[in-house]
Amino acid sequence: MTLDIHKIRADFPVLDQQVNGSSLIYFDNAATTQKPKSVIDALSHYYASDNANIHRGLHALAERATNAYELTRTKIKEFINAPSSDQIILTAGTTGSINLVAQTFGRANFSKGDKILISNLEHHSNIVPWQMIAEEKGAIIEVIPVDERGVLDLAAFRNLLDASVKLVAVNHVSNAIGTINPIAEMIQLAHAHGAKVMIDGAQSIAHLDIDVQALDIDFFAFSAHKLFGPTGVGVLYGKRELLESMPPYQGGGEMIKEVSFEGTTYNELPYKFEAGTPNIADVIALSAAIDYVNALSKEALFTQELALLAYATEQLITISGLRIIGTAPDKIAVISFVIDGIHPQDLGVLLDKFGIAIRTGHHCVQPLMKRFGLPGTCRASFAFYNTFEEIDLFVKALRRSINMLQ
């Protein structure tokens, strides 16, 4: 499928603006993706026409809102090939999904001396929740190392696996350096030792085809805002037997069947884990985001992004003193880099003066930055709506910024 990038860019209103007198160049897609007009319209339509609470009302607005909300759950199920829509738990984000697993599966299954394996590539949201439950239960966290390219050491991973490992929690793709991890092989190895696997899919959901059944994933989490959808919505997929065995995470309305002062009977999946009034409008808008990606073909989008990655890499390595951090052979369109003698934050500030949005800092992966001996990096991350011309302007502005700072 050939993409009409000019037409696609017209679908994203935010891209058509001036920042500091220059046309916006948005290269911060790993932090959050921009939203097509169809997603914005879906949000507006809900509040203008269907605003009502879901599941509880019998009037027309409540029924329309409920149907639209549950349709999103069905579309998510199809998007990741889950066996059933009731295995799709709607949360506030990837962080919320990981915390749910830590506080429910972890609390029910971890004991003193049990091991949790994470990797040196993890975002803080896939580190801290496991540290919290490990401290509470007396479990032990061990870390899968990465090499100088930012590639996980699979030999070390195999050596860490034994009968004491209860969970392997790793990201599918590194948010900081773009490494694509070999999760199919890692899941197979973990299962051979009786461990369950939690995959943080925040950075892979918009780029790679996800089939949770083919991969045999136990838990998979992602955020809507990384998939051209709204903020404040996340997804947790889990195998049915695991979700049914886990206690509720929060108490309140919706997650119950019957309440008395003598006791409470909990609801069935997925509502057992969805207490209170949810983020209705943004969940409904996620449906439009999924429709948008499906209409364009994720394979075509990823091909475009890889072409941008290759071109940007080719241009950046010609800059004296620039060093790319993360050179894995398999990666998404993310380039982290440093410039000799220049602080990343200074570059970020100057590039903004040219209307160019990149991310600087530790990218919520302080242990990974420590592994590379860096306080942080500059990160340019591309989406299919970015262009080669934008990369040319970025490289030109980067050279000017370096000259100003040296």
Domain locations in the chain as residue ranges: 5-30+298-405, 40-294
Q: Using pLDDT thresholds of 50, 70 and 90, give the confidence band for residue 231.
A: very high
Residue with more model confidence, 252 or 27 = 27
CATH of domain 5-30+298-405: 3.90.1150.10
Tell me: pLDDT of 39 over 80. yes
Q: How far apart are CA 365 and CA 78, in angstroms?
A: 31
**Stretch 240-268: mean pLDDT:** 84
Contacts of 283 (CB under 8 A, 6+ apart): 69, 72, 90, 224, 233
Contacts of 342 (CB under 8 A, 6+ apart): 321, 402, 405, 406
The DSSP letter of residue 248 is P
Contacts of 380 (CB under 8 A, 6+ apart): 27, 312, 334, 335, 337, 358, 394
pLDDT digits (tens, 9 = 90+) for 130-157: 999 999 999 999 999 999 999 999 999 9
pLDDT digits (tens, 9 = 90+) for 331-350: 999 999 999 999 999 999 99
pLDDT at 81: 98
For 135, 156, 185, the CA distances from 191, given in Å and listed in that order, are 24, 16, 10
Integer-rounded Cα Rg, in Å, for the chain is 22
pLDDT at 93: 98
Q: Using pLDDT thresholds of 50, 70 and 90, give the confidence band for residue 266.
A: confident
% of the chain with per-residue pLDDT over 90:
91
pLDDT at 217: 98
Count of CB atoms within 10 A of residue 357's CB? 16
Residue type at 296 in one-letter notation: L
Tell me: pLDDT of 43 over 80. yes
Residue type at 351 in one-letter notation: L
pLDDT digits (tens, 9 = 90+) for 50-68: 999 999 788 999 999 999 9
Q: Using pLDDT thresholds of 50, 70 and 90, give the confidence band for residue 235.
A: very high
Please say whether the structural domain 40-294 has been given the CATH code 3.90.320.10. no
Q: What is the mean pLDDT of the chain?
A: 96
Residue with more model confidence, 378 or 266 = 378
Does the pTM surpass 0.75? The reply is yes
Tell me: pLDDT of 253 over 80. no
**Catalytic residue from among 98, 328, 364, 369:** 364
Q: What φ, ψ does residue 214 adopt, rounded to 5°?
A: -65, -35
pLDDT at 390: 98
pLDDT at 259: 74
Tell me: pLDDT of 256 over 90. no
**Stretch 153-169: mean pLDDT:** 98
Q: Using pLDDT thresholds of 50, 70 and 90, give the confidence band for residue 365.
A: very high
Tell me: pLDDT of 267 over 90. no
pLDDT at 263: 83
pLDDT at 379: 98
> Is 378 annotated in the active site?
no
Q: Using pLDDT thresholds of 50, 70 and 90, give the confidence band for residue 393.
A: very high
Residue with the two structure tokens 């017209």: 10
